[in-house]
Amino acid sequence: MPTRRELLALTSGAAVTAAASGLAVPASASAASSSPHRGDDDLDWVASWAAAPTTIPPTPPLVLTAQTVRQIVHLSAGGDELRIRITNEFGTTPLRVGAVRVAVRAGTGASTAIVPGTDRRVTFGNRTDVILPAGSPLVSDPVRLRVPPGADLAISLFLPARTPVTTVAAFAFQDNVVADGDVTAARTVTPVQTIGQYLFLSGVSVRDRGSAIVTLGDSITNGANTQNNLNHRWPDLLAARLRAAGLERGVANVGISGNRLLHDPNPPAGSEAETFANYFGHSGLRRFDRDVVAQPGVQHLIVLLGVNDLGHPGTVAPPSEVVTADDLIFGHRQLIARAHAAGILAIGGTILPFKGDTFGFYTEANERKRDVLNRWIRSGGEYDGVVDFDRAMADPADRLRLNPAYDSGDGLHPNDTGMAAMADAVPLRLFK
């Protein structure tokens, strides 16, 4: 199989052809990403699930003591071995994790039960009880566990000491649970609390012949307003399409609700936004190396960022952070350059329409900027491929609005049907 740098060499300078659907696709993309069958010796680590961590707002954190947190993750790629990434990246003190276990989840929806016989101990450098330094992640040793593509895992962390929860993925759209004691190996647990976040957990990779696609975005990529426990985020539905097409690809969703391309959270002093803005995460430019380049086996990147850069100034960020279309194009060019430097093919997603949104994002000035940015993404020829989410999601009666059939009710975020339409808008030939 070609290396990522070889893939980039194959596609650099390639002519961009307009597909009948209006999507710009590199003419050489299909040839670049195809690979001959490889034997077992050529299996490599591929990101199968991810959650981008953030810090917490300046309020008293959730504190766990001698408790287990059991968290459900929905894999994209499968394999016979897996590795788990836990993280203390926003902790200011060392984090002790007394035990970690993983199993295939039994049932669907909000179930946290495990399939008998699938429970495995997880070690880190052959240790079961580990200390994560402040600011640091840990990647586990390989775990022998057969997991099919699209499987759900139950990952259980036991926290023996008093543990303030400072590193989270704030919006999981999945019910996870806290239980008393070390019940990491239990088939079922008795929750004392149900949480809608991922705590100290940021990745699962599997040994596979394929490669990974990373989706870098904001709340729309993170899955905002989809039904909990159904895995209806558009990257999940894209992963299902890839599996149905026989394409071995992991999909690592590193969308963060409220995320911006150019700026970190900066709520105006004294505003309500101070109570939640930290969950918006570091800017796309700042977190790119951690959340994209470091994903195992990444060969493709899909970027959908910019709407919060337009909408936050004057709402949950100061007016001084108003951006121009040229500012956004500059930021996207940086992502492309950094992806290419790492041998990753970069695919640009056009910004969805949001006229009439309930957040106060829409103005005629912001619409003009969105239009300039989208025209550059479509026809600038700098991205290696394009997903035209704008055209796929717009109201046919008013192209500046989200299609009512796809609107979750706020004029900005798609509903579950809209998420399926977004997944369908991604041309699979980009990854063949």
Q: Is 3 exposed, middle or buried (0-12, 13-18, 19+ CB in 10 A)?
A: exposed
User: Under 8 Å CB-to-CB from 321, ≥6 apart: which residues?
Assistant: 263, 266, 312, 313
Q: What pLDDT digit, counting tens, does each position of 93-107 carry?
A: 999 999 999 999 999
Q: What is the pTM of this model?
A: 0.91
> pLDDT grade, residue 35 (50/70/90)?
very low
| Cβ-based neighbour number of residue 138 at 10 Å | 20
> pLDDT grade, residue 293 (50/70/90)?
very high
Q: Which CATH architecture has domain 4-38+210-431?
A: 3-Layer(aba) Sandwich (3.40)
Q: What pLDDT digit, counting tens, does each position of 51-71 carry?
A: 999 999 999 999 999 999 999
CA dihedral 48, 246, 345, 54 (to 10 degrees): -20
> pLDDT grade, residue 43 (50/70/90)?
confident
Q: What pLDDT digit, counting tens, does each position of 318-329 carry?
A: 999 999 999 999
Q: Are 408 and 415 in contact (CB under 8 A)?
A: yes
Mean pLDDT rounded to a whole number for the chain: 92
Q: What pLDDT digit, counting tens, does each position of 106-119 carry?
A: 999 999 999 999 99
Q: How many CA atoms lie within 13 A of 156 on its CB side?
A: 32
**Pairing label, strands 201-208, 44-50:** antiparallel
User: Under 8 Å CB-to-CB from 116, ≥6 apart: which residues?
Assistant: 187
Q: Where are the domains of the chain?
A: 4-38+210-431, 58-201
Please name the residue that has the structure tokens 């040793």. 141
Q: What pLDDT digit, counting tens, does each position of 374-431 carry?
A: 999 999 999 999 999 999 999 999 999 999 999 999 999 999 999 999 999 999 999 9
Query: Which tokens go with 276?
Result: 């939640």
pLDDT of 350 > 50? The answer is: yes
Q: What pLDDT digit, counting tens, does each position of 257-285 carry?
A: 999 999 999 999 999 999 999 999 999 99
Alpha carbons 369 and 4: distance in angstroms, whole number:
33
Alpha carbons 47 and 260: distance in angstroms, whole number:
23
Phi-psi region of 163 (alpha: psi -120 to 50; beta: other; left: phi over 0): beta
**Pairing label, strands 63-64, 163-164:** antiparallel
With CA atoms as reference, report the closest residue to 216 among 43, 81, 383, 415. 383
> pLDDT grade, residue 7 (50/70/90)?
very low
With CA atoms as reference, report the closest residue to 312 among 271, 353, 364, 265. 265
**Pairing label, strands 298-304, 211-217:** parallel
Q: What pLDDT digit, counting tens, does each position of 352-380 carry?
A: 999 999 999 999 999 999 999 999 999 99
Please name the residue that has the structure tokens 């939640």. 276
